[in-house]
Amino acid sequence: MVAGARSVDVRVLTTQGEQRRLLVDEARAGLLTRPRQLSPKWFYDERGCMLFDEITRLPEYYLTRSEREILEQRSAEIAELTRARTLIELGSGTSEKTRLLLDALTRQGSLERFVPFDVSETILELSGAAIRGEYPSLEVEPIAGDFERHLGHLPEGTRKLVAFLGSTIGNLPPDARRDFLEQVGRLLGPMDALLLGIDLVKDESRLLAAYDDDAGVTAAFNRNVLHVLNRELGASFVPERFEHDPRWDAEHEWIEMRLRATQAESVPVHALDAVVELDEGERIRTEISQKFRAERIAAELADVGLQVAETWRDGHGDFALVLSFGSE
C-alpha cells in the first residue's frame, strides 16, 4: 500500500461462493458438451494476474504499450471533451494506465469521483487505497462485481466517463458484446461517454506472435485455467498434457486461444460429478480476442445508440481508443 494511503470500503456485488457457482455452471456447459470451451474470466486467479502482468511487458505484446501511447497523447483531449465528474473503469485491475486519465481530468478540474470496477475485492482494496493516497481530493468508490451481470449497479449522475480499456471487450462473443453495449447505452445520457480500447485487424503473423510469445508466458497463462479448475472444482487435469494452441480465425477476425490434449484424457471433475472425456488432439477454447475495424465498432456502437465522437490510433496503427457519447 502506498505510504499515507487510507483504506477504502469495497462495495461487493459478487461473493466467492457466487463466483464458484458460476464457474460450476459454466464448466458444466462448456466442458461436458462439444465443442469444449471456457470463459477467459477464469484465467485471473492470483497466479493468472501475475502471468498476465508479465505478458503485458513482453516485446511481442504490443497492445498495452500502444494503448498507453494513445493515452499519453490524448488524455488531456479526452478530459476536455468529456469534462467527466465521475470516471468509471470496468475491469480496472491496478488502474495503472488509468492514472493518465485521472491526471488529465484532475488538471482539467471536473473530476470528483473514481469508481474502479473489478471482480477481485482484494485487488480493489489495494488499488483503491493507492488511488486515494495519490488523489486525496477524489471520492474513491470501488465495486467488486462482474461487468456482464452487474452494470445496473453503477452509480448514477451526469457527466460520467466509462472506460473499458485493454481491448477486453474483444473477449466477448458478438451476442454477449451486443448485450454488454446495450446495457452501457442504457446507462449513458448525452453528456456521458464511453471510452473503449480496441485492438485493430493487422497482419496475422503479428497477431499470433502476441498470443504465442517465445518465452512461453502466454502458454503458461493459458494452462493456468486448468490449475484453477483443479483447485476450485476438484478436477484432475494434468496441465503439462495440454499444448497452448492459438489460431487466427480470418472469417470472424479474432484470435482463438485453445488448449490441445496431447493424448486421450478421462478427467474426473468432482464438483460436476462427471468425467470429461477428451480425444487425443481435442481442443478446449479458452478465449477469443476480437480484432476490430473502425467501421465495425462504430456500427456496433450506433446499433445501441452510442455515437462515435473521436477515434485515436497509436503511431503504428495497431490499436485505437474510441470515444462515444450517449443519446437522449
* pLDDT higher than 50, residue 327: yes
* pLDDT tens per residue, range 219-234: 999 999 999 999 999 9
The CATH number that applies at residue 248 is: 3.40.50.150
* pLDDT tens per residue, range 196-210: 999 999 999 999 999
Structural domain range at position 112: 1-328
Number of domains in the chain: 1
- Considering only CA atoms, which of 229, 208, 211, 209 is closest in space to residue 220? 211
Whole-number pLDDT of residue 6: 59
CA gap 237, 226 in Å, rounded = 6
Q: Which residues of 106-132 are buried (b: 16+ CB within 10 A; e: fewer)?
A: bebebbebbbbbbbbbebbbbbbbbbb
What SS3 class is residue 317?
coil
Whole-number pLDDT of residue 42: 93
pLDDT band at 3 (very low <50, low <70, confident <90, very high): very low
- Considering only CA atoms, which of 61, 96, 26 is closest in space to residue 221? 61
Residue 116 carries which DSSP code? Answer: E
Q: pTM surpassing 0.95?
A: no
